[in-house]
Amino acid sequence: MADGFDAILIGAGHNALACALHLAVNGWRVGVFEQAAVPGGAVKTGEYTLPGFRHDWAAMNVSLFAGSAFMKQHGAELMRHGLAFVPVTHPFASAFPDGRWCGVSTDMSATTDRIAALSPKDAQKWAALMADFPARAEHILGLLGSPMTARPLASYAFKTWRKLGLSGSADLARFLLQSPRQWLTETFEAPQVRAMLGAWGMHLDYAPDVAGGGLFPYLEGMAGQAFGMVLGKGGADTVTRALVAAIEARGGVVSCGTPVARILHTAGKATGVELADGRKITATKAVIAGTSPSALVRLTGGTTPAFDRSMSAFRHAPGTMMIHLALDSLPDWAAGEDLKRFAYVHLAPSLDQMARTYQQALAGLLPDEPILVVGQPTGQDPSRAPDGKHVLWLQVRMAPGTILGDAKGEIAATDWATAAAPFADRVLAILDRYAPGIRSKIIGQRIVSPAELEADNPNLVGGDQLCGSHHLSQQFLFRPARGHADGSTPIKGLHLTGAAVWPGAGMGAGSGFLLARKLAGNRAGR
């Protein structure tokens, strides 16, 4: 291993790896140091139940990566290093307690027929939204892909005002501030359609009544209709493996099982890192921390009082439990066989239940009926399991990082080591109501509590898979703090990247790519 690099990156999450690859393409010598035994952070795949059954540890949907600006620029190189996708034409559906269901497929007529069975008026509204989507998406995606610094924001605002006018710009601003419930109830009349879309807000810490969250049910719904979903061939780790291979092919180093103990800085400038084994590695141009904000404070030993307070006060979302199942066959959905075709099946019956579940988790209670995201990747990609067998990916939203009690009054344990099994039983009982007999199909099981998620990846504080709440006070200009949405810090040459930095969580590699482009100066090869 070299004694020094142009840039040192702490952590091998996909944002840090994307940043490293872009810098390497621009001629930088990069070294990535990861505390875990394997790279990827939340984007990794393993045989967590039985041999031959490949489960995505946390992230399963790689659509944002497949459609990202980073992929557009570096995709050909990543494909040469093994990156492979599986397109999904039936991205998501919701099942309901009364035996009905509704889902979005890339076949527009199939989607509108399902919605029309619940509300003809809603089917008409869906068609109108889709017709307007390309024009509206231009402005929304332009904002989400823009650096949160003065000049790009001013340019975005001016272009938007020129195109939409004052009233149109005001309408866009109002939409961006709406809660999921506000937008959904204004737009649709069927409770099932509202719930089907509202479930997407729970993926990003946007419970139904949280301001600013209406955008995400809209985007996920429209994108699912227009583009479907994308999974990683053989597992989401196809992204991680290709990134690592591309970095190493360009002379970079990705070292796992190598924790960083502290960031070295002198006279207000970052100079390198000290590893847990005592080795000191120098960085001539940049140190890039793919860490949580609070970890950055620990690693630096302190920067300025104001910045350190902001990083320490950074708020995390409630936690998530993952349950990985190896199955003899896919679930037999009570609502019908068609549900087996969908990558995601949400078990989130109503906006009211989502709001209750969120508040219970926020209060430190194990929810009485958590929201379930049931991933069926082997329905789309049989390579993840032995012939005829399947894996099921259960994401339980929400769960408290620290347990203060049980909303149902059944689980006395307040530590995850003891509470995980009975809470998982509650989850499987819910699944069994929607897919009777599911327990008899289970041949292997792995429960991953919020505490275990954090132990595996310290960025997931309290099991928060988002590395920070996306509420408006921590979004846009304020992610992770005002004046630092570009990942800058008070120490020259030290930068923060990852889901805690604008544009936040998801697989789009946005923060890593934006930072790398800034550092590389957008030179040839960018």
Residue 371 belongs to domain with CATH number: 3.90.660
Same domain (yes/no): 300, 239: yes
CB 355 within 8 A of CB 208: yes
Do the domain assignments include residue 50?
Answer: no
Do the domain assignments include residue 53?
Answer: no
Do the domain assignments include residue 463?
Answer: no
Instruction: Reply yes or no on whether the pLDDT at 321 is more than 50.
Output: yes
Instruction: Reply yes or no on whether the pLDDT at 141 is more than 90.
Output: no
Same domain (yes/no): 387, 417: yes
pLDDT confidence bin for 525, thresholds 50/70/90: very low
Do the domain assignments include residue 370?
Answer: yes
Please write the tens of the pLDDT for every residue from 36-75: 999 999 999 999 999 999 999 999 999 999 999 999 999 9
Q: How far is CA 226 from the centre of its chain?
A: 20
Eight-state DSSP code of residue 382: G
Tell me which of 189, 205, 227 is where a domain ends.
227
Q: How many domains does the chain have?
A: 3
pLDDT confidence bin for 526, thresholds 50/70/90: very low
Question: 3-class secondary structure for 404-442?
Answer: CEECCCCCCCCCHHHHHHHHHHHHHHHHHHHCCCHHHHE
Same domain (yes/no): 26, 125: no
Domain containing 127 equals 92-227
pLDDT confidence bin for 366, thresholds 50/70/90: very high
| Arithmetic mean of pLDDT over the chain | 96
Share of the chain above pLDDT 90, in %: 92
pLDDT confidence bin for 156, thresholds 50/70/90: confident
Same domain (yes/no): 407, 298: no
Tell me which of 410, 434, 456 is where a domain ends.
456
CB 427 within 8 A of CB 438: no
When mean pLDDT is compared across 164-168, 273-277, 370-374, 437-441, the lowest value belongs to: 164-168
Same domain (yes/no): 339, 424: yes
User: If you average pLDDT over residues 371-382, what whole number do you get?
Assistant: 98
CB 504 within 8 A of CB 466: yes
Q: What is the Cα–Cα distance from 191 to 373, expressed in whole angstroms?
A: 19
Q: What is the Cα–Cα distance from 271 to 213, expressed in whole angstroms?
A: 40
Question: So what's the pLDDT on residue 523?
Answer: 44
Please write the tens of the pLDDT for every residue from 415-443: 999 999 999 999 999 999 999 999 999 99
Same domain (yes/no): 484, 431: no
Q: Pick the more confident residue, 144 or 25.
A: 25
Same domain (yes/no): 309, 327: no
When mean pLDDT is compared across 325-334, 421-430, 515-524, the lowest value belongs to: 515-524
Please write the tens of the pLDDT for every residue from 183-202: 999 999 999 999 999 999 99
Residue 71 belongs to domain with CATH number: 3.50.50.60
When mean pLDDT is compared across 79-88, 164-173, 248-257, 458-467, the lowest value belongs to: 164-173
Helix, strand, coil percent values for the chain (each to nearest 5): 45, 20, 35
Do the domain assignments include residue 462?
Answer: no
Same domain (yes/no): 398, 496: no
Please write the tens of the pLDDT for every residue from 437-468: 999 999 999 999 999 999 999 999 999 999 99
Q: CB-based contacts of 55: which residues, under 8 Å, 6+ apart?
A: 45, 46, 47, 48, 49, 235, 324, 384, 391, 393, 446
Share of the chain above pLDDT 70, in %: 99
Closest CA to 381 of 101, 14, 65, 62: 62
Same domain (yes/no): 79, 129: no
CB 370 within 8 A of CB 399: yes
Do the domain assignments include residue 52?
Answer: no
Closest CA to 62 of 85, 44, 92, 39: 85
Same domain (yes/no): 239, 276: yes
pLDDT confidence bin for 2, thresholds 50/70/90: low
Closest CA to 362 of 427, 407, 418: 407
Q: What is the Cα–Cα distance from 312 to 321, expressed in whole angstroms?
A: 24
User: If you average pLDDT over residues 6-19, what whole number do you get?
Assistant: 98
Residue 153 pairs in a beta bridge with none
Do the domain assignments include residue 16?
Answer: yes
Tell me which of 202, 227, 252 is where a domain ends.
227
Same domain (yes/no): 281, 328: no
Please write the tens of the pLDDT for every residue from 227-243: 999 999 999 999 999 99
Same domain (yes/no): 342, 443: yes
Do the domain assignments include residue 511?
Answer: yes
